[in-house]
Amino acid sequence: MEHLHDTERRGFASDNYAGAHPEVIAAVAAANGGHVGAYGEDPYTAALRERFAELFGAQAEVFPVFNGTGANVVGLQSLLTRWGGVIAPAIAHVNTDEGGAPEKVGGFKILPVASPDAKLTPDMIRAHAGSRGVHTIVPQAVSITQSTELGTLYTTSEIREIANAAHALGLAVHMDGARIANATAALGVPVREFTTDAGVDVLSFGGTKIGAMGAEAVVVLNPEAVTGIEFLRKNTMQLASKMRFVSAQLLALVTDDLWIRAGAQANAMAARLRKGIQDRMDDGSLTGVAFTQETQANGVFATLPPGVADVLRETVPFYDWNAATGEVRWLTSWDTEAADIDRFVGLIAKYCAARR
C-alpha cells in the first residue's frame, strides 16, 4: 500500500498521533502464522502473564484489552457493586473523555472532585467518602491517574497515603495508567513500587500512547479486591479472539524495558520544549508565553498571545486546553526528536514576535 500521509510530519496534539514502534510491528509479525488457541490460550499471552508477574508481583493477573476506555471500565466495574461509585478528580479522563462509557457501559457513576493539579489527596477522599443512604450513589473506589491529565505526577508516598486512606474507608484503589510508561521513566523507580507496593488494587496499563498499535491491559494487583473480571471483559466487548496480537504488542513493550525507554524519550522532549521556550524568554527573544503547569512527564501546558495558537496550528497540530484563557497543551511522543522540538520553538518565537 502506498503512503496516504506525510510520514515526516510531526505534531504535539497527542501521543496517540504517533505511529507504532517498529519493535511492536515486528512482534505482531512474529506472532503471525500458524494456528494457536484463541481468547488468550496462546503462548504470547502466557509469556505476558509471566512478564507482568515479574513487574508487579506473583499475585498480579493481566487481562489484555483493546483500548484505555475499556481498561478503565472493566477495571473499575470489577471493584464495584451495582450501586457503587468512583471518586476521581473532576479533570480525570474517566470523567471527561470516556464519552460517558463508565455510566453508559459500566453502569457506575463517577463522583468528581475539584482538583487544580488533577491529583487527589487523602483529605479530598475523606471529604467525599460515605453515603447518605439509598438516595445516593455509594463511593466504593477511588481512581487516580498516573501521570495525570495535566502532566503531573504522584510520588510513591502520595499514592501510598491515598491507598491507606481509601482502604481505611473501605474503598478500593484504581490507577489509570494510560501514560504509566512516562510516569515510570520520570520517577526512576520500579513500577511495582508505586503500584502494588503502594496499595493500588487495579491498574489500567497503557500501551497505545507509548508505541502499541492498539493494546492496553487491566492488571489486577490485588485479586481479593475484584469480582468476575473474566466475565466483565467479555460482556463489555473487550475480549479479543485473536488475543495473541494484542498480547504480542504489550510483550514487546515490556521486553528489555522498551516502554520505559520510549517514555523517557517523550519526557526528555517535553523537557527540551519547555527549556527551549524558557531560554528564549530569559534572553528576551520570546515574550507573551506563560507556563500553567509543571512539566513532569510528556506534557507542556502554556498560554500564548491572542491569535498565535491558530497561526501555529497551520503548520504544527496541537490542541487548545482552555480556549477562553489561551491555554494550550503540547504532548510529546516516543518518536519526537530534538529537531522537531527546536523547529517548533523557533516557530513559537517567530509568531509571538509578529504579534507584538
pLDDT in tens, 44-103: 999 999 999 999 999 999 999 999 999 999 999 999 999 999 999 999 999 999 999 999
Q: If we measure between CA atoms, which residue out of 61, 351, 10 comes closest to residue 196? A: 61
Strand order in the sheet with 202-206: 61-65, 216-220, 202-206, 172-177, 138-145, 84-89, 109-113
- The answer on 224 and 276 residing in a single domain is no
Specify the number of domains making up the chain: 2
- The answer on 218 and 153 residing in a single domain is yes
Please give the model's pTM, rounded to 2 decimal places.
Answer: 0.96
pLDDT at 354: 81
- Tell me if residue 140 falls in helix, strand or coil: strand
Contacts of 35 (CB under 8 A, 6+ apart): none
For the chain, the first-to-last Cα distance in angstroms comes to 47
pLDDT at 2: 86
- The answer on 339 and 243 residing in a single domain is no
Cell numbers for 145, please give them.
491517574
The Cα 21–Cα 92 span in angstroms is: 27
Is the residue at 5 inside a domain? Answer: no
Is the residue at 303 inside a domain? Answer: yes
As a residue count, the chain comes to: 356
- The answer on 238 and 279 residing in a single domain is no
- The answer on 179 and 37 residing in a single domain is yes
- The answer on 287 and 236 residing in a single domain is no
Which one of 237, 256, 275 terminates a domain?
A: 256
Which one of 256, 287, 318 terminates a domain?
A: 256
Q: Residue 290 to residues 137, 153, 181, 264, 333: CA-CA distances in angstroms?
A: 40, 20, 27, 25, 22
Give the structural domain span for 278: 259-354
Residues of the chain with pLDDT under 50: none
Is the residue at 283 inside a domain? Answer: yes
Which one of 238, 256, 274 terminates a domain?
A: 256
pLDDT at 131: 76
pLDDT at 213: 96
Contacts of 154 (CB under 8 A, 6+ apart): 119, 144, 146, 148, 162, 183, 194
Helix ranges (DSSP H) in 78-212: 93-96, 101-104, 122-128, 156-168, 180-187
* CB 312 within 8 Å of CB 319: no
Is the residue at 221 inside a domain? Answer: yes
pLDDT at 63: 98
The Cα 25–Cα 302 span in angstroms is: 34
3-state helix, strand, coil in the chain (%, to 5): 40, 15, 40
- The answer on 132 and 273 residing in a single domain is no
Cell numbers for 3, please give them.
503512503
- The answer on 150 and 266 residing in a single domain is no
